[in-house]
Amino acid sequence: MHDYVIVGAGLFGSVFARQMTDAGAKCLVIEKRHHLAGNCYTEDVGGIHVHRYGPHIFHTNDELVWNYVNRFARFNRFSYRPKVNYRGRIFSFPINLTTLYQLWGVKTPQQAQQRLEAERVPIERPTNLEEWILSQVGCEIYETFVYGYTKKQWGREPKELPSSIIRRLPIRMSWNDDYFNDRFCGIPEGGYTRLFESLLEGIPVETGVDFLEDRCRFESAAKKIVYTGPLDRLFDYSLGAHDWRGLRFEQEVVNTPDDQGVAAINFTDYETPFTRRIEHKHFDPVTTDHTVITREYPADWKIGDEMYYPVNNDAGLELQRDYVARLPANYLIGGRLATYRYLDMHQVVASAIHLADKEIATDQGRLKSIRITARRAA
Distance, CA of 169 to CA of 203 (rounded, Å): 38
| Cβ distance to ligand UDP smaller for residue 269 or 357 | 269
Note if 341 is an active site residue. no
| Residue 132 φ/ψ, nearest 5 degrees | -65, -50
Note if 342 is an active site residue. yes
The answer to whether 221 and 1 have CB atoms below 8 angstroms apart is: yes
Among 306, 342, 357, 371, the one annotated catalytic: 342
Angle between the 345-362 and 63-70 helix axes, to the nearest 10 degrees?
Answer: 90
The secondary structure of residue 38, as a DSSP letter, is G
Distance, CA of 190 to CA of 149 (rounded, Å): 31
Note if 295 is an active site residue. no
Reply yes or no: is the peptide bond before residue 94 cis, omega within 30 of 0.
yes
Note if 71 is an active site residue. no
Residues 86-125 that bind ligand UDP (CB under 6 A): 93
46 Cβ neighbours under 8 A, 6+ residues apart: 253, 288, 290, 292
In this chain, which of 48, 65, 84, 348 binds ligand UDP, going by CB under 6 A? 84
| Cβ distance to ligand UDP smaller for residue 166 or 349 | 166
Instruction: Give yes or no for residue 146 binding ligand UDP (CB under 6 A).
Output: yes
Rounded alpha-carbon distances, angstroms, from residue 242 to 108, 236, 259: 46, 12, 38
| Cβ distance to ligand UDP smaller for residue 160 or 201 | 160
Note if 276 is an active site residue. yes
Residues 28-57 that bind ligand UDP (CB under 6 A): none
In this chain, which of 268, 291, 312, 351 binds ligand UDP, going by CB under 6 A? 268
Note if 245 is an active site residue. yes
Distance, CA of 293 to CA of 304 (rounded, Å): 26
- Which run of H or E residues covers position 32? none
| Cβ distance to ligand UDP smaller for residue 112 or 146 | 146
Instruction: Give yes or no for residue 347 binding ligand UDP (CB under 6 A).
Output: no
| Window contacting ligand UDP (CB under 6 A); options: 4-12, 120-128, 164-172, 213-221 | 164-172
Residues with a catalytic annotation lie at: 168, 172, 245, 276, 296, 342, 344
- Give contact residues for ligand UDP (rule: CB under 6 A): 84, 93, 145-146, 149-150, 153, 165-166, 168-169, 266, 268
